[in-house]
Amino acid sequence: MRRCPECEHWEPAGAPGCARCAGLVDEIVEEGWRAFLMREFGTTAPPDERLIAEMVVDEPDKHPWRVVDAAYDRLTCAECGGRLSRGPVTCAACNLANGFRYSAIEIDRPGVPPGNEHALRVNVSVTRRPDGISESEVLLRRLSLPILLDGLLPTTAQAQATKAMANDGATEAELAAVVYAEWGRV
Ligand SMILES: [Zn+2]
Ligand SMILES: [Zn+2]
């Protein structure tokens, strides 16, 4: 893990507040998108990227979640005008899209414990669309990103204990101490 020079968090736990960390979180899905384009179209800069994005979100269950999330980023929400699926919790079209994309495929990366990719996906998703999620949950989810990217996964007991701390109003420093010292290391 590396410290972000902008916000001093372990990368990318400063997202979404730190623009540099937020960019690193976006890059998690962007690298999936580029790999998909290369595999399917032999280039990372096809002329009709928007059309490809529309095709992908029409069949989210046929694609890895990173590809689907990146595809939504390329589409504009007709209701709120933002990136589709990432608008405020009051936007019905974004809520619908946010539900659909959870049918996408999860494939654990080689060498990581089963479930790592699922945890990464949920935490990336909340960090990229925190609206409507409690402050303590967003905090815990963004703090967990460096651990998950490192290929570690908390045990169920560790995750539950940390969540209970967050719900009881633990500070960011207290939570970070537990997440970075204990998670995945037992
Ligand atoms: Zn940062
Ligand atoms: Zn919207």
Q: What is the mean pLDDT of the chain?
A: 95
Spacing, Cα 76 to ligand 2 middle (Å): 8
Give me the phi and psi of 134, to 5 degrees please. -65, 150
Query: For position 159, what pLDDT does the model report?
Result: 94
Query: For position 185, what pLDDT does the model report?
Result: 74
12 belongs to a structural domain: no
Distance CA 83, CA 75 (A): 6
Q: Which ligand is nearest to the CA of 11?
A: 1
Query: For position 184, what pLDDT does the model report?
Result: 79
1 belongs to a structural domain: no
Digit-coded pLDDT (tens) for 26-83: 999 999 999 999 999 999 999 999 999 999 999 999 999 999 999 999 999 999 999 9
Residue showing tokens 């290369």: 38
Spacing, Cα 61 to ligand 2 middle (Å): 21
177 belongs to a structural domain: yes
Residue 144 pLDDT > 90, yes or no? yes
118 belongs to a structural domain: yes
Query: For position 186, what pLDDT does the model report?
Result: 56
Determine contact, residues 25/127, Cβ cutoff 8 Å. Answer: yes
Segment 86-104 mean pLDDT: 94
Digit-coded pLDDT (tens) for 77-87: 999 999 999 99
Spacing, Cα 49 to ligand 2 middle (Å): 20
Query: For position 35, what pLDDT does the model report?
Result: 97
Please name the amino acid found at residue 159: A
Cis ω for the linkage preceding 5 (within 30 of 0):
no
CB-neighbour burial class of residue 111 (10 A; exposed 0-12, middle 13-18, buried 19+): exposed
Spacing, Cα 172 to ligand 2 middle (Å): 30
| Percentage of the chain exceeding pLDDT 70 | 99
Digit-coded pLDDT (tens) for 156-174: 999 999 999 999 999 999 9
43 belongs to a structural domain: yes
Spacing, Cα 137 to ligand 1 middle (Å): 19
Report the number of distinct structural domains present in the chain: 1
Spacing, Cα 96 to ligand 1 middle (Å): 30
CB-neighbour burial class of residue 109 (10 A; exposed 0-12, middle 13-18, buried 19+): exposed
14 belongs to a structural domain: no
10 belongs to a structural domain: no
Q: Which ligand is nearest to the CA of 8?
A: 1
Helix (H) or strand (E) holding 94: helix 92-100
96 belongs to a structural domain: yes
Q: Which domain range does residue 130 map to? A: 19-182
Digit-coded pLDDT (tens) for 99-116: 999 999 999 999 999 999
